[in-house]
């Protein structure tokens, strides 16, 4: 199997020279990034399994944008109610002393990856780990930190019909940076994908689901809530090792309109293909999606229950963005977002942020929207905590990137799975409002699980059976 990227020795030597020039006078903790122009082309970078277990991925295939990050130059973690403020401070600390040598611009610049779980969890002191190269962070088995901001050691980018590689190191580690980068780019053969993933019987799961939906409906009838998003997970055993890159390649191929994402660690990889943007910020222009209300097969989408479910998301996003934005534009009625096998009501929201408002302010204001939490937001999150809602990985949270200047984008982490060595856990949820029926909402979660289940199967046409 070919390496992910092969460069002649002369190119590595030139890279070392550019790195040394960039390092002149830099503090030890300063990040140094050098971008190499790799010429014209478009690649999803997934043809080979990255040698690094610490990898991240972000792709919007329909827009021709793919990023694969390998290793870590720096990672900052946080948890608790102030987690976004902590990540904002971490970003400011990194961005304030981040040197870049590269002339391509556009999407071909160094970026930090960021992500967070649905619930902020108990507080923890923010931490920064520098220069990990291909070594892994110490972690509990399979666990992602609650919230994380990290810069990959090597970032392979494909965008605007151009390819580039951005190499990053803390200045203090630059002596052996080139050797580390070379190792990260070696690829391993892809493991085979399973051809048949056994599906568990769902009778028990459905009974438990129905009971939870009834409790949620009772809370709604009592006036405690207008909406709450319940989720459940399928835990599937895997006969052999599944290559995350191969699974991602299937998601990219079958869901070109979605944002495909992955964050990998020593024990587990969290990955998926989501239709929903939480927020994007570019040159002061902000964009967000209000997505809710689902139909599949021949079901009608424009029914009152779905319209109500989605209107609550629109209202919450408008309310969250109003104090942060100088202008805000919404279409008068929702549109239909057509996905492979599913349709949603969708309101794209656009505006311009007020001076001084950054991506982390927007994330903190918006998350969780009623597309993943409920309405009113605080009451719904409280209800979910009290009723033991458990969400694997960053499901229902966010995943994205931010550049040195604060532009970036975060997707809502949906249609995803937490892939371990011997099993995969697949979560899916549904918004419960007055008029929801438990059995129908269960089938909705089944339809949403289809995104990952289809990707796990060799035959794209194979329908879900065994339920
Ligand atoms: C919570 C999920 O989807 C959200 C996004 C779109 C439509 C939704 C719905 O109709 O319930 C959910 O709010 C999920 O995919 O697990």
CATH number of the domain encompassing residue 422? 3.60.120.10
Residue 249: pLDDT band (50, 70, 90) is very high
Cα separation, 44 vs 57, in Å, equals 10
Burial class (CB within 10 angstroms; exposed 0-12, middle 13-18, buried 19+) of 466: exposed
Task: Please state the pTM of the whole predicted model.
Answer: 0.95
Q: Which protein residue's CA is at the shortest distance from atom 7 of ligand 1?
A: 292
User: From the CA of 20, how far away is ligand 1's center (Å)?
Assistant: 49
Is the CA virtual torsion 179, 153, 405, 76 positive or negative? negative
Q: Which protein residue's CA is at the shortest distance from atom 6 of ligand 1?
A: 292
Is the confidence at residue 202, as pLDDT, over 70? yes
Is the confidence at residue 292, as pLDDT, over 70? yes
230-240: buried (b, 16+ CB within 10 Å) or exposed (e) per residue?
bbbbbebebee
* Total number of domains in the chain: 2
Mean pLDDT of the chain: 92
- Residue from 202, 137, 194, 206 nearest 419 by CA: 194
- Nearest atom in ligand 1 to the alpha carbon of residue 274 is 15
| Mean pLDDT along residues 181-198 | 85
Domain that holds residue 262: 203-456
- Nearest atom in ligand 1 to the alpha carbon of residue 396 is 1
Beta-bridged to residue 325, according to DSSP, are 353
Cα separation, 98 vs 87, in Å, equals 16
Is the confidence at residue 194, as pLDDT, over 70? yes
Residues 146 and 214 in one domain: no
- Nearest atom in ligand 1 to the alpha carbon of residue 428 is 16
CA end-to-end span of the chain, whole Å?
A: 39
Q: What is the DSSP letter of 297?
A: T
**Is 295 strand, coil or helix?**
strand
Residues 219 and 174 in one domain: no
User: From the CA of 436, how far away is ligand 1's center (Å)?
Assistant: 14
Main-chain dihedrals φ then ψ at residue 246, nearest 5 degrees: -70, -40
Position 1 in a domain: no
Identify whether the C-beta of residue 29 lies closer than 8 Å to the C-beta of residue 170: yes
Position 196 in a domain: no
* Percent of the chain clearing pLDDT 90 (strictly above): 82
- Residue from 325, 345, 15, 332 nearest 165 by CA: 15
Q: Which protein residue's CA is at the shortest distance from atom 13 of ligand 1?
A: 371
Residues 123 and 268 in one domain: no
Is the confidence at residue 14, as pLDDT, over 80? yes
- Nearest atom in ligand 1 to the alpha carbon of residue 292 is 7
Token pair of 421, please?
A: 């060595």
Scan for tokens 């478009």, then name that residue.
42
User: From the CA of 431, how far away is ligand 1's center (Å)?
Assistant: 6
Residue 321: pLDDT band (50, 70, 90) is very high
Residues 395 and 448 in one domain: yes
Position 465 in a domain: no
Position 30 in a domain: yes
Residues 25 and 174 in one domain: yes
Q: Is the CB of 363 under 6 A from ligand 1?
A: no
User: For the ranges 4-13, 100-109, 142-151, 359-368, which has the lowest average pLDDT?
Assistant: 142-151
Q: Is the CB of 313 under 6 A from ligand 1?
A: no
Residues 234 and 373 in one domain: yes
Residues 247 and 181 in one domain: no
Cα separation, 229 vs 389, in Å, equals 10
User: From the CA of 395, how far away is ligand 1's center (Å)?
Assistant: 11
Q: Which of 261, 292, 348, 413 should be mutated for ligand 1, with most atoms under 8 A from CB?
A: 292
Q: Is the CB of 447 under 6 A from ligand 1?
A: no
Q: Is the CB of 391 under 6 A from ligand 1?
A: no
Token pair of 417, please?
A: 């799975």
Main-chain dihedrals φ then ψ at residue 236, nearest 5 degrees: -110, 130
User: For the ranges 112-121, 122-131, 134-143, which has the lowest average pLDDT?
Assistant: 134-143
Main-chain dihedrals φ then ψ at residue 456, nearest 5 degrees: -80, -10
Q: Is the CB of 373 under 6 A from ligand 1?
A: no
| Mean pLDDT along residues 24-44 | 96
Identify whether the C-beta of residue 194 lies closer than 8 Å to the C-beta of residue 456: yes
Residues 423 and 297 in one domain: yes
| Range 202-211 contact pairs with CB under 8 angstroms and sequence separation of 24 or more | 202/442, 202/446, 202/467, 205/232, 205/234, 206/439, 206/442, 208/232, 209/438, 209/441, 209/442, 209/445, 210/438, 210/439, 210/442
Q: Is the CB of 234 under 6 A from ligand 1?
A: no
Main-chain dihedrals φ then ψ at residue 375, nearest 5 degrees: -145, 135
Cα separation, 335 vs 345, in Å, equals 6
- Nearest atom in ligand 1 to the alpha carbon of residue 293 is 10
Position 451 in a domain: yes
Residues 68 and 103 in one domain: yes
Residues 381 and 405 in one domain: yes
**Is 65 strand, coil or helix?**
strand
Identify whether the C-beta of residue 335 lies closer than 8 Å to the C-beta of residue 379: no
- Residue from 410, 336, 407, 361 nearest 110 by CA: 407
- Nearest atom in ligand 1 to the alpha carbon of residue 276 is 5
Position 21 in a domain: yes
Residues 50 and 150 in one domain: yes
At what angle are helices 83-95 and 359-366 packed, to 10 degrees? 170
Mark which of 155, 188, 221 sits at the end of a domain. Answer: 188
- This model of the complex carries an ipTM of 0.98
Q: Is the CB of 392 under 6 A from ligand 1?
A: no
Q: Is the CB of 317 under 6 A from ligand 1?
A: no
H helices of 197-286, in order, are 203-221, 244-254
Q: What is the DSSP letter of 96?
A: T
Position 3 in a domain: no
Mark which of 188, 217, 232 sits at the end of a domain. Answer: 188
Cα separation, 75 vs 398, in Å, equals 17
Is the confidence at residue 103, as pLDDT, over 90? no
Q: Is the CB of 415 under 6 A from ligand 1?
A: yes
Q: Which of 229, 273, 275, 394 should be mutated for ligand 1, with most atoms under 8 A from CB?
A: 229
Residues 144 and 278 in one domain: no
Q: Which of 304, 414, 440, 441 should be mutated for ligand 1, with most atoms under 8 A from CB?
A: 414
Mark which of 188, 218, 240 sits at the end of a domain. Answer: 188
Residue 75: pLDDT band (50, 70, 90) is very high
Is the confidence at residue 266, as pLDDT, over 50? yes
Backbone dihedral region for residue 463 (phi beyond 0: left; psi -120 to 50: alpha; all else: beta) = beta
Position 4 in a domain: no
User: From the CA of 465, how far away is ligand 1's center (Å)?
Assistant: 22
User: From the CA of 343, how far away is ligand 1's center (Å)?
Assistant: 11
């Amino acid at each position: 199997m070919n390496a992910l990227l092969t460069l002649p020795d002369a190119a590595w030597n030139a890279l070392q020279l550019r790195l040394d020039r960039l390092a002149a006078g830099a503090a030890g903790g300063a990040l140094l990034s050098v971008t190499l122009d790799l010429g014209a082309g478009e690649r999803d970078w997934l043809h080979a399994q990255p040698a690094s277990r610490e990898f991240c991925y972000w792709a919007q295939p329909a827009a021709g944008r793919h990023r694969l990050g390998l290793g870590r130059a720096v990672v900052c973690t946080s948890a608790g109610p102030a987690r976004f403020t902590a990540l904002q401070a971490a970003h400011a600390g990194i961005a304030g002393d981040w040197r870049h040598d590269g002339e391509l611009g556009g999407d071909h610049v160094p970026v930090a990856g960021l992500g967070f779980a649905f619930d902020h969890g108990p507080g923890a002191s923010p931490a920064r780990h520098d220069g990990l190269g291909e070594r892994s962070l110490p972690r509990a088995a399979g666990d992602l930190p609650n919230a994380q901001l990290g810069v990959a050691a090597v970032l392979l980018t494909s965008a605007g019909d151009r390819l580039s590689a951005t190499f990053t190191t803390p200045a203090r580690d630059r002596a052996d940076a080139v050797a580390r980068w070379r190792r990260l780019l070696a690829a391993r053969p892809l493991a085979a994908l399973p051809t048949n993933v056994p599906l568990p019987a769902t009778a028990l799961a459905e009974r438990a689901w129905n009971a939870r939906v009834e409790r949620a409906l009772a809370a709604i009838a009592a006036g405690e809530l207008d909406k709450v998003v319940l989720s459940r997970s399928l835990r599937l055993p895997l006969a052999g090792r599944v290559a995350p890159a191969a699974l991602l390649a299937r998601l990219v191929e079958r869901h070109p309109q979605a944002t495909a994402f992955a964050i990998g660690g020593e024990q587990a990889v969290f990955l998926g293909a989501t239709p929903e943007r939480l927020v994007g910020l570019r040159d002061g222009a902000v964009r967000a999606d209000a997505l809710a209300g689902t139909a599949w097969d021949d079901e009608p989408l424009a029914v009152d229950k779905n319209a109500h479910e989605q209107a609550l998301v629109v209202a919450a996003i408008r309310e969250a963005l109003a104090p942060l934005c100088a202008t805000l534009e919404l279409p008068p009625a929702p549109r239909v977002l057509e996905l492979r096998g599913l349709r949603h009501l969708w309101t794209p929201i656009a505006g311009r942020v007020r001076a001084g408002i950054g991506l982390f302010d927007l994330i903190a204001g918006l998350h969780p929207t009623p597309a993943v939490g409920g309405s009113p937001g605080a009451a719904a999150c409280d209800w979910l905590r009290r009723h033991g809602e458990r969400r694997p990985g960053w499901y229902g949270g966010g995943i994205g990137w931010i550049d040195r200047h604060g532009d970036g984008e975060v997707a809502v982490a949906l249609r995803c799975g937490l892939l371990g060595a011997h099993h995969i856990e697949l979560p899916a949820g549904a918004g419960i409002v007055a008029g929801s029926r438990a059995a129908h909402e269960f089938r909705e979660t089944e339809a949403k699980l289809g995104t990952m289940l289809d990707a796990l199967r060799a035959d794209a046409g194979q329908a879900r059976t065994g339920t």
